Amino acid sequence: MKALVLERQRVLTLREIEIDETLGPSDVRIAMGVVGICGSDVHYYTDGGIGPFVVREPMVLGHEGAGIVVEVGGQVEGLGVGDRVCMEPGIPDMDSRASRLGLYNLDPAVTFWATPPVHGCLRESVVHPAAFTYRLPENVSLAWGAMVEPLAVGLHAATKARIRPGDVAVVVGAGTIGTVTALSALAGGCGRVIICDVVQERLDLAAGLGAITPVNAGKENLAEVTMEMTAGWGADIVFEASGNAAAAAAVVEPLRPGGCIVLVGMPNEKVPFDVVALAAKEARIETVFRYANVYDRAVELLTSGRIDVGKLITDTFSFEKSVEAFEYAAAPPATSLKVQIDFGS
Ligand code: ZN
C-alpha cells in the first residue's frame, strides 16, 4: 500500500510499503480518511527522534486518524462495513497489570502509532482492534474525528484536574493541545479560562472559542492578569500545555492556595520547580501521559456540539501532498494550528 514513510531524519517519501495487515477476529480494517499532523510527527521528521524514541528504520508517520470501516473480523460486534470511525492509536496488552487497573495508557508494552518502531496511520488502510475503534455519528466529519486524538489529551487533563463548576482555569500555551485543553476545561465546568501564549494569532483564535481570555506573555504578566481577574486569589487550576521549561516553572504564581496544577506539555529539558512556593500553596500536582478511557467522551462532546473543533483545523493537504504538508507543518505561519491530510474518501 501507499504510505508516508519517514526514511530517516528530514527524509520523507510517499511510496509503496509492505505491512502485514492480517485481519484478526477482533479487528476491523479501515480505509484512512483524514489524518492530523501532530507535533510529535513533526519532531520525528525534523529531529529523527524524541528522547529515547529514535527512528532507526523507515517508519510510517501519523497517529491522529479517522476513516471508514471496510472489513470486520468474525467476532466484532457493534461496528460494520461503511461505518465512519476514529481510532485510539495506543494499543495496550489488555492482560497487563496497568490495563487491569484501568491505566492502559501506562502499560509498558503499549504499541502506539508512529512511535518507533511502530508504523503510524498515514497509509491507505490500517487493521485495528475494534475495542479501540469508535464510531462517529452522522454530524461528526472525518476531519473532526481526526481531532479526537488531540482532544482526548485535553479531556484527560481536565479529568485529572477534578474541575468543579465555576472554576477559573489558566492554560499556558495556545497550540493545539493548549486550545483543546481550554475547550475541555470549559466543557468540564470551568466558568472561565485564561489562556496564555506569545503568538497573538493563536490567542485570537482561542479567544473566539468561548469564555476564554487571551493573555499575550510578550506584553502582559500572566500572574498579574490572573490575580486581577480573581480578586487577588488566583486560578483554581493551572494547566501547563506549552512544553516550555521556563513557562512550566512559572505555573505556581497564578495558582490559588489549594489549587491544582496539571502538567500536560512535555518540555525537552528539566524544569526547576520552586518546591517551597508549591508547598506554601499546598498545590496538588497532576500529570498526564496521553489518555485513557476518554475517547467515548470526546466523541460525545463533538456530537452534542458542546465542543467545536472546526476552527482549530486551519490547513488541509491531500494525501498526494503529504510531504509538502510536513514541510509546511515544520515551519508553519502564525495563523496555522492543526494541519490535516485528507485521503479524499
Ligand atoms: Zn497527537
Tell me: pLDDT of 333 over 90: yes
Q: Measured in angstroms, how far is the CA atom of residue 287 from the centroid of ligand 1?
A: 17
Q: Which of 116, 77, 109 is nearest to 93 (CA)?
A: 109
Tell me: pLDDT of 182 over 80: yes
Q: Measured in angstroms, how far is the CA atom of residue 62 from the centroid of ligand 1?
A: 8
- Range 13-29 average pLDDT: 97
pTM above 0.95, yes or no: yes
Q: Measured in angstroms, how far is the CA atom of residue 40 from the centroid of ligand 1?
A: 7
Q: Measured in angstroms, how far is the CA atom of residue 20 from the centroid of ligand 1?
A: 24
The confidence score (pLDDT) of residue 268 equals 83
Q: Measured in angstroms, how far is the CA atom of residue 198 from the centroid of ligand 1?
A: 22
Give the dihedral of Cα atoms 274, 279, 282, 287; nearest 10 deg.
40
Reading the block at residue 140, the C-alpha cell is 461528526
Q: What is the DSSP letter of 23?
A: P
Asked whether the beta carbons of 119 and 59 are under 8 A apart, the reply is yes
Q: Measured in angstroms, how far is the CA atom of residue 19 from the centroid of ligand 1?
A: 22
Percent of the chain whose pLDDT exceeds 90: 98
246 class by beta-carbon count within 10 Å (0-12 exposed, 13-18 middle, 19+ buried): exposed
Q: Kindly indicate the confidence band of residue 6, based on its pLDDT and cuts at 50, 70 and 90.
A: very high
The CA R_g of the chain, rounded to the nearest whole Å, is 20
Q: Measured in angstroms, how far is the CA atom of residue 145 from the centroid of ligand 1?
A: 13
Q: Measured in angstroms, how far is the CA atom of residue 74 from the centroid of ligand 1?
A: 31
Look at the block and give the residue holding cell 504510505. Answer: 3
Tell me the CA distances in angstroms from 202 to 158, 333, 336, one per residue in order.
21, 11, 8
- What is the C-alpha to C-alpha distance for residues 124 and 104, in angstroms, rounded to an integer? 27
- Range 47-52 average pLDDT: 90
Q: How does DSSP assign 27-73, residue by residue?
A: EEEEEEEEEEEPHHHHHHHHHSEETTEE--S-EE---EEEEEEEEE-
Mean pLDDT of the chain: 97
Percent of the chain whose pLDDT exceeds 70: 100
- Range 47-76 average pLDDT: 96
pLDDT tens for 242-255 read 999 999 999 999 99
Q: Measured in angstroms, how far is the CA atom of residue 63 from the centroid of ligand 1?
A: 6
Asked whether the beta carbons of 251 and 260 are under 8 A apart, the reply is no
Q: Measured in angstroms, how far is the CA atom of residue 32 from the centroid of ligand 1?
A: 16
Q: Measured in angstroms, how far is the CA atom of residue 295 from the centroid of ligand 1?
A: 13
Q: Measured in angstroms, how far is the CA atom of residue 120 from the centroid of ligand 1?
A: 11
Q: Measured in angstroms, how far is the CA atom of residue 33 from the centroid of ligand 1?
A: 16
The confidence score (pLDDT) of residue 345 equals 72
Q: Measured in angstroms, how far is the CA atom of residue 89 from the centroid of ligand 1?
A: 9
Q: Measured in angstroms, how far is the CA atom of residue 83 from the centroid of ligand 1?
A: 23
Tell me: pLDDT of 317 over 90: yes
Q: Measured in angstroms, how far is the CA atom of residue 151 from the centroid of ligand 1?
A: 9
For the ranges 26-30, 176-180, 265-269, the lowest mean pLDDT is seen at: 265-269
> CA angle, 87 as apex, 40 and 105 as ends, to 5°?
65
Tell me: pLDDT of 72 over 80: yes
Q: Which of 194, 188, 193 is nearest to 217 (CA)?
A: 194
- What is the C-alpha to C-alpha distance for residues 49 and 272, in angstroms, rounded to an integer? 24
Cβ neighbours around 88 below 10 Å, total? 28
Asked whether the beta carbons of 196 and 169 are under 8 A apart, the reply is no
The confidence score (pLDDT) of residue 51 equals 84
Tell me: pLDDT of 259 over 80: yes
φ, ψ for residue 286, nearest 5 deg: -120, 150
Reading the block at residue 232, the C-alpha cell is 487577588
Domains by residue range for the chain, with CATH: 2-147+309-342 (3.90.180.10), 154-287 (3.40.50.720)
Q: Kindly indicate the confidence band of residue 211, based on its pLDDT and cuts at 50, 70 and 90.
A: very high
Q: Measured in angstroms, how far is the CA atom of residue 204 from the centroid of ligand 1?
A: 22
- Range 138-142 average pLDDT: 97
The confidence score (pLDDT) of residue 14 equals 98
Q: Measured in angstroms, how far is the CA atom of residue 177 from the centroid of ligand 1?
A: 9
Residues 6+ apart with CB under 8 A from 20: none
pLDDT tens for 165-174 read 999 999 999 9
Tell me: pLDDT of 325 over 80: yes
Tell me: pLDDT of 139 over 80: yes
